[in-house]
Amino acid sequence: MNDLKSLVRPALVSFALLAVVTGLIYPLALTGIAQVALPWQANGSLIEQDGKVIGSRLIGQSFDDPKYFWGRPSATAPLPYNAQASGGSNLGPSNPALIKAVEERMQALRAANPDAQGPVPMDLVTASASGLDPHISPEAALWQAKRIAKARGLPVQQIEELIRVHTETPLLGVLGISRVNVLELNLALDRLARQSAGGAR
């Protein structure tokens, strides 16, 4: 019995100590450091407009208005871009359901973008693995430029320049790919439209 106690007691003490260190002290320390060093990122990279949170830089949103850029499809359920149900469709490239979905998306995009040239960019018809991707490729943004210019009555060159300015390059020039944050691009688009309207008065 004494031998058992001599074994159990150190195990319980070690368990309690590790629980406090890894379950309380460590998370609180990291949270505190993050709040001081990177408060915006630590709180979800939230984007505000007129004092209201309108989204996160890290999570995509659905846009279907012709005057805005559209992002990648989302396979999350029950709604697109559901951060509580992150995931893909798990459909393989040869799955008939995926092929049908891609074809339907291509038809819808071509109907909405009759002036677009070239093939429909792949990231506009396929969902990401997370279903939350907030970015599209610069090519996908440029493919939509004529539709947006027409819907807003702006020169297409202005839309293309806006895309160029908001294109994020790979980290250190090699890590990742060039991309455009759809929500930030659409907010910049609204600012451009307001500036153009103000200048026209």
Q: Are residues 31 and 86 in the same domain?
A: no
Q: Are residues 22 and 109 in the same domain?
A: no
For residue 201, the model assigns a pLDDT of 54
Task: Tell me how many domains the chain contains.
Answer: 2
pLDDT digits (tens, 9 = 90+) for 129-149: 899 999 999 999 999 999 999
Listed residues 27, 43, 59: the one ending a domain: 43
What span, in angstroms and rounded, lies between the C-alpha atoms of 166 and 163?
5
End-to-end CA gap in the chain: 92
Q: Are residues 34 and 121 in the same domain?
A: no
Q: Are residues 35 and 49 in the same domain?
A: no
Selected residue with higher pLDDT from 8 and 189: 189
Q: Are residues 34 and 92 in the same domain?
A: no
Q: Are residues 92 and 130 in the same domain?
A: yes
Nearest one of 163, 195, 199, 196 to 181, comparing CA atoms: 163
Q: Are residues 31 and 50 in the same domain?
A: no
Range of the domain at 80: 45-200
Q: Are residues 195 and 113 in the same domain?
A: yes
Q: Looking at residues 185-192, what average pLDDT do you find? A: 92
Neighbours of 190 (CB within 10 A): 13
Q: Are residues 67 and 137 in the same domain?
A: yes
pLDDT digits (tens, 9 = 90+) for 12-44: 888 888 888 898 888 888 888 888 777 777 777
CA distance readout (Å), 11 to 5, 19, 26, 96: 10, 12, 21, 55
pTM of the predicted model, to two decimals?
0.80
What span, in angstroms and rounded, lies between the C-alpha atoms of 133 and 72?
7
Q: Are residues 63 and 92 in the same domain?
A: yes
For residue 1, the model assigns a pLDDT of 60
Rounded to 5 degrees, φ, ψ at 133 are: -55, 120
Question: Do residues 107 and 100 touch, judged by C-beta distance below 8 A?
Answer: no
Q: Are residues 135 and 169 in the same domain?
A: yes
Q: Are residues 119 and 20 in the same domain?
A: no
Region for 176 from its dihedrals, namely left if φ exceeds 0, alpha if ψ lies in -120 to 50, beta otherwise: left
pLDDT digits (tens, 9 = 90+) for 96-136: 999 999 999 999 999 999 999 999 999 999 998 899 999 99
Question: Do residues 121 and 140 touch, judged by C-beta distance below 8 A?
Answer: yes
